[in-house]
Structure 1
Amino acid sequence: MQKNIPQFGLYGEGRWIDDPEFVHIEDIEARSGELGWRIKAHQHTQLFQILLLNHGSVQVKMDTETRYLEGKWAIIVPPGIVHGFRFSPETDGSVLSISDSLLEQTPDKLGKHTQALTTPGFINFNRLPEAFQHVRQLIELLEYEFQQVHEGKNALIEHLLKAILVLVVRHQVATSPDAPLSNDDTLINRLKILVNERYKNHLKTLDYANQLNVSEKKLNRVTQQAFGKTVVQLVHERLMLEAKRHLVYTQKSVEEIAYDLGFKDAGYFSRFFKRQEKLTPGKYRQLSDPIAL
């Protein structure tokens, strides 16, 4: 096990993606086949990915969640999510990677539910054969265009990419039990971004409200409507997610993790973790089973 969570552009390539319009597509077998059909846990800080499984099976580790999928599925991997895969041999499918900066240019084209692309997701297309065919055909056409030299190639790739994202958002929202209920999507999205940026600072609800230029009462009301949780609970969830990532995927000591997450001492961090998880950090690490490490 490593000291830090591995970070890549594309898996196994130790370079960052500097192209703000980077798009890449390949078969699942192209990268995982030669690695024993196993992709070790890692992060992409600048890439959004969609894996489309045509047939076969995979054990997926997405942060602290492990799932086994078989048949026709789409797997949504936003930037920053720790993920690993163990595919059954001869699994067939595609991996579409998109620069997060390119993705940020498309929200107005995708409708009001674009937050679906910021959340890890699993779309069961075994129950949606017609929808699966639509997505697969677009993926195959996109892959074909990448291999050709034709007039209007870039324009067609752009349109295909947007069409794929629209369908993914549509079905991700339709199948997600955790879709926010609030009508104030803009405020919710701004809060989620701010919490992700500042959770290590252990700010109070009033601090977030001031930075978002709303009252503390309104901010808590909106988060309760959207998630059934307070702002403090959302911040604690983000702290716990990062703590679990480090406990499962790194060799950092509890003291190092506590310091990294902005806690003043390891004892307070351990008490906080046990209060949230009903386990000590050490026991959680002992019981965890990260795949493909």
Structure 2
Amino acid sequence: MSSSIPNYALYGEEAQPAWLDMVHFEMIHERSSLFKFEIDPHFHEGLIQLLYVTHGGGEAFIDGTNWQVHPQSLIVVPARHVHGFHFTHDIDGPVVTAAQSPLESLASVGAPDLLAHIRRPQVLSVGDAVRHVDALMPLFDAIQREARVHGSGEVAAGSALLMAVFVQIARISATLQSQEGPDTHGRSRKAAQVERFRALVDAHFRKRLGIEFYAAEMGLSAGQLSRLCRDALGMSSLDVLNARVVHEAKRELVYSTLGIKQIAAVLGFADEAYFGRFFKKQIGRTPTEFRDAARLRLTPEAKGRATVEP
């Protein structure tokens, strides 16, 4: 998939493989100050970012929508959502960058309702949900300790703590909705349409339906839907659909015990060979090559040798 929008692991650094286990912690000021507090639009292939603004503010730009950021704001940017920031010079607070696939796998088993919060970009004003404020910083502090200890089980502990943060996000979101009604927060019509398309893709991507189906569900032509995605995301609607299939395929290949034929069937492919051709066209490796390389990279021995730039 081609795109003119940069793909970074962390802003300004080369992207790591999307399946890489990672829970990285830093303060917002540390990285944004290197770029004069102006973070140009970019996306993360397989990484979710969570920012908790404790001081300062500015604007967040996510999928073509501008969000005002104030102290005690939570910003959720899932994988492949185009985003950028304009921060004030006094901006600060923790930012966690983590591999989204293992987080989704954990949520699928223990808390499926959290998947919607993990996959949807959000900017939430925690100050309007006061009863949940005190729970946040202790969780971020614990994630910071795990990220910097580099001990055994650090990724598992970090992921579990990040899940606890998303429990708080779900509670905060529910509180805000009860106070204000549906969570529109000034989103543009275009951004709402993009979110609707992503939701439809999440619900139906395993059926291998064509773009015409999604366009019809949204009351658009296939061409209008593709233009909408290019304007907001820098990629076609087919690229968005294929990226969702690839994301799920990678998650199954790395974190499940299903065989390639079974994964092909789960994802709606007519046969294993068709799935193999699709997967190799998208990422340049066969499913078996990808699984072997990913699992080798995730072994304790390999982790001990690897150096991942934070």
**Fold-level match, TM-score > 0.5?**
yes
In the other structure, the counterpart of 2:306 is none
Could you tell me how far apart the structure 2 residues matched to 1:15 and 1:28 are? 19
Q: Equivalences for 1:1-293 in 2 at 5 Å?
A: 4-107=4-107, 108-148=109-149, 156-175=157-176, 177-178=182-183, 191-193=200-202, 201-204=210-213, 231-233=217-219, 239-245=226-232
Write out per-residue CA displacement over residues 109-132 of structure 1, whole angstroms, 9 at most, x where no aligned residue.
224252122111111111233412
What TM-score, normalized to structure 2?
Answer: 0.60
Alpha carbons of structure 1 residues 44 and 133: separation in structure 2 relative to 1, 3 Å: same
In the other structure, the counterpart of 2:262 is none
3-state SS of 1:55 partner: coil
Give the C-alpha shift of residue 102 in structure 1.
1.2
Is the 2:129–2:176 contact (alpha carbons within 8 Å) kept by the matching residues of 1? no
Runs (5+) with no aligned partner, structure 1: 180-187, 209-229, 251-256, 262-293
Is the 2:6–2:42 contact (alpha carbons within 8 Å) kept by the matching residues of 1? yes
Write out per-residue CA displacement over residues 83-107 of structure 1, whole angstroms, 9 at most, x where no aligned residue.
0001101211111111121122122
3-state SS of 1:98 partner: strand
Is the 1:115–1:189 contact (alpha carbons within 8 Å) kept by the matching residues of 2? no
3-state SS of 1:32 partner: helix
Is the 1:199–1:238 contact (alpha carbons within 8 Å) kept by the matching residues of 2? no
Give the C-alpha shift of residue 137 in structure 1.
1.4
Q: Which moved more, 1:157-166 or 1:77-86?
A: 157-166
Give the C-alpha shift of residue 20 in structure 1.
3.4
Could you tell me how far apart the structure 1 residues matched to 2:238 and 2:21 are? 36
Q: What one-letter code is carried by the residue in structure 1 that aligns with 2:95?
A: V
Give the C-alpha shift of residue 48 in structure 1.
0.9
Give the C-alpha shift of residue 59 in structure 1.
1.0
Q: What one-letter code is carried by the residue in structure 1 that aligns with 2:123?
A: F
Give the C-alpha shift of residue 163 in structure 1.
1.1
Is the 1:117–1:169 contact (alpha carbons within 8 Å) kept by the matching residues of 2? no
Is the 1:50–1:96 contact (alpha carbons within 8 Å) kept by the matching residues of 2? yes
In the alignment of these two chains, the number of paired residues is: 221
Is the 2:225–2:237 contact (alpha carbons within 8 Å) kept by the matching residues of 1? no
Give the C-alpha shift of residue 46 in structure 1.
0.6
Could you tell me how far apart the structure 2 residues matched to 1:143 and 1:189 are? 31
Runs (5+) with no aligned partner, structure 2: 185-196, 241-310
Could you tell me how far apart the structure 1 residues matched to 2:232 and 2:239 are? 12
- Alpha-carbon RMSD: 3.7
Q: What one-letter code is carried by the residue in structure 1 that aligns with 2:36?
A: G
Could you tell me how far apart the structure 2 residues matched to 1:14 and 1:151 are? 26
Q: What one-letter code is carried by the residue in structure 2 that aligns with 1:239?
A: S
In the other structure, the counterpart of 1:184 is none
Could you tell me how far apart the structure 1 residues matched to 2:208 and 2:175 are? 30
Is the 1:60–1:67 contact (alpha carbons within 8 Å) kept by the matching residues of 2? yes
Compare the two structures and name the one with the higher helix fraction.
Answer: 2
3-state SS of 2:218 partner: helix
Q: What one-letter code is carried by the residue in structure 2 that aligns with 1:93?
A: G
Is the 2:128–2:176 contact (alpha carbons within 8 Å) kept by the matching residues of 1? no
Q: What one-letter code is carried by the residue in structure 1 that aligns with 2:160?
A: H
What TM-score, normalized to structure 1?
Answer: 0.63
